[in-house]
Amino acid sequence: MSKKLMIGIVCMFLLCLSHTAKARPMKPGEFLVLCYHAIPVKPAPGDKYSVSQKDFAEQMEYLRTHGYTPVSFSDILAARDGKKPLPEKAVLLTFDDAYISYYEFVVPFLEELGYPSVLAVIGNFINYPPDTLPEPLMSWEQIREVSSKRLVAVVSHTYDLHKSVQYTPQGNVSAAAGVLAFDGNTNSYETEAEYRMRIDADFREQEKIFKEKLGFVPGVIVWPYGVYNDVSLDVALKNRFPYTFTLEPGYAHVDSLDRTNRTIIENNRIDYFIETLEKPEGEKEHLRAVQVDLDLVVEPDSPEATDENMGRLIDRLVEMKVNTVFLQAFADPEGSGNISSVYFQNSVLPVRADVFGWAAHQIGIRGMKVYGWLPSMSIVLPDEALNSRLRVHELRNGESLPSTSWYKRLSPFSEETGRLVGSLYEDLASHSLIKGILFQDDAYLTDYEDFHPAAMERYAEHFGDSEIKKAAGENSEMAEKWARFKTEALIEYTQKLKKSVTKYRPNALFARNLYAKVVEEPDSELWFAQNYELFLRNYDHVVVMAYPRMEGVKNPAKWLKELAGRAKDVPQGLEKTVFKLQAYDWRKEEWIDDGELLEEMKDILSEGGRHLAYYPDSYHDDKPALEKVKLEMSTKTYPFIP
């Protein structure tokens, strides 16, 4: 059958499709990048990344008949430079790994249609093809031949980074370009400098072989597995790779070509393909999260027992079918809330056991998003003199003294605090594959705090000669201005911590714990330096600690419904708020009845709440009872909320 006849048949088939979903119109400068791999006559069973030639032809015809315009990377650069705007519904077709089907089928097929494409080549694969590939790869001669064609752009897929390396002491592996490697022989982690050298050496080797075999050096790099970070982007730029492609779904934009979104095509079904085109970002996800104490899992003197405990925890989470885990990254077995050691390698605090990266990996590969749960201020440094110097200060008897609060917090106004805690967050991100961060509830300042010298300097710059001490404990206009200044300073402080995380995890999400009182009574910003609406604007999620027993509430159902109702009245309230319920009554030292907890979850949902979490959890005691709690926590039974 000729290709033209095939196209005609496919066209008739597609015209019969009834499809009513509507795509969001692309904004000026937006385009969609599709990622393909092998295009064989018939993919092998279980090969989800290959698309059959028949199905590929259907997909291309769908583009043609539904207003999509395949463009070249040169067109995208022209649009970026203001020379020529992109057409509506612009699509860039990319093909990874240089499979032989690209040479034998894709190029001639796309030439008939006049469609441009991008071919991403792994230098070392062409020289030494792995024996696990779905089909043979092209030769350098064939790559050189297609590179000379007007509709083909050949780019780099790295020389030898399309592989995994060990990154935890326990032997977990991940994409070579995205992690600091762990050397089991020396029991040591790669430093940032060594990581940079490794990435740089790969880029230089790829440049060398491209010059030798193809006679040019590409300015585009396609990250293997879509994994990258700010450090690898910096190395790429220094190696004259200003344009890079990821595997983050969603529309790309001409102003963000240093990290271009790209959507992978994973199966042959035409309905899947249509949905990918129309909803490249995917569906909005409702969170079902468990906040997990790693203290209950880790037995520092027994790796075997720790491994067994982790297995039991994971079995429970998988059976519960939650999609998110807020995983404790710090050690606090006594429950003091003041952190002097952690569960990951770092340069700031002692390591109780280097297990967080391993635990996050084991949970993550089961399809759950792991957020590192970590304090931002209640950190006890090994140097007591430094602790004393950086401690939050309060006003007592007219004098500025270290705070007596049970949370021994470091002042967020001190640059030294920011540097030390920033290093801690960066180390967490560099040694684990977290999807996000949950900031602990320690980021607050009372109406008598912070009188740290660094804070007083900031007040003087902002308020001039105003006497802040007169505002402490008052309910006045000056006290409100001072509280708002502290609220914004705490947000600014966590924004700096975000940057420390995104250096290695550029797509990390950020959630911040919030006291329920702040949602109930906006005036309570005076007491906590926290503001619900400002949190909604500055974080991906706000985790409201909806703990009726901690708050001394007599009617939990009414209180929870009112709390959710308040979220409904605030812009982005329901979209961003995670209602975290208490599963344990710390005052009575007993677990809350499973039926009561389930009803409280329903109370939140009945008022339109979308995101649920609970804390704590005990896999030892099956608390809360798995069979009960999964009725509302399971993402497999709860309908999507538009």
For each of the domains in the chain, give its residue range(s) and CATH number, in order of start: 32-278 (3.20.20.370), 288-633 (3.20.20.80)
| CA distance to 8, 102, 377, per residue, from 108 (Å) | 17, 9, 61
CA dihedral defined by 233, 239, 243, 247, rounded to 10 degrees? -50
Q: If DSSP codes are grouped into helix, strand and coil, which group holds residue 486?
A: helix
pLDDT tens across 613-637, in order?
A: 999 999 999 999 999 999 999 986 5
Mean pLDDT (whole number) for 132-138: 96
Distance CA 507, CA 289 (A): 19
Q: If DSSP codes are grouped into helix, strand and coil, which group holds residue 488?
A: helix
Cβ neighbours, 10 Å, residue 316 = 18
Mean pLDDT (whole number) for 91-102: 98
Pairing of strands 436-439, 509-515: parallel
Contact call for residues 617 and 623 (beta carbons, < 8 A): yes
Instruction: For residue 230, give the nearest of 506, 510, 507, 426 by alpha carbon.
Output: 506
pLDDT tens across 532-558, in order?
A: 999 999 999 999 999 999 999 999 999
- What does pTM read for this prediction? 0.93
pLDDT tens across 508-534, in order?
A: 999 999 999 999 999 999 999 999 999
Local confidence band at 5 (pLDDT 50, 70, 90 cut-offs): very low
Local confidence band at 11 (pLDDT 50, 70, 90 cut-offs): very low
Distance CA 39, CA 154 (A): 17
**Percent share of the chain, pLDDT over 90:** 89
CA–chain centroid gap for 35, Å, is 21
Asked whether the predicted pLDDT for residue 18 surpasses 60, the reply is no
pLDDT at 471: 86
Asked whether the predicted pLDDT for residue 17 surpasses 50, the reply is no
Q: Which two tokens stand for residue 292?
A: 């997990």
pLDDT at 637: 52
Question: Which is more confident, 638 or 570?
Answer: 570
| CA distance to 361, 384, 385, 593, per residue, from 327 (Å) | 11, 28, 31, 24
pLDDT at 23: 63
Asked whether the predicted pLDDT for residue 1 surpasses 50, the reply is no
pLDDT at 640: 40
Local confidence band at 641 (pLDDT 50, 70, 90 cut-offs): very low
Mean pLDDT (whole number) for 605-615: 97
Mean pLDDT (whole number) for 421-430: 98
**Percent share of the chain, pLDDT over 70:** 95
Mean pLDDT (whole number) for 236-262: 96
Distance CA 635, CA 318 (A): 11
Asked whether the predicted pLDDT for residue 559 surpasses 60, the reply is yes
Local confidence band at 19 (pLDDT 50, 70, 90 cut-offs): very low
Local confidence band at 592 (pLDDT 50, 70, 90 cut-offs): very high
pLDDT tens across 145-162, in order?
A: 999 999 999 999 999 999
Distance CA 14, CA 66 (A): 10
Asked whether the predicted pLDDT for residue 475 surpasses 60, the reply is yes
Asked whether the predicted pLDDT for residue 356 surpasses 80, the reply is yes
Mean pLDDT (whole number) for 107-135: 97
Local confidence band at 295 (pLDDT 50, 70, 90 cut-offs): very high
Instruction: For residue 33, give the nearest of 205, 244, 242 by alpha carbon.
Output: 244
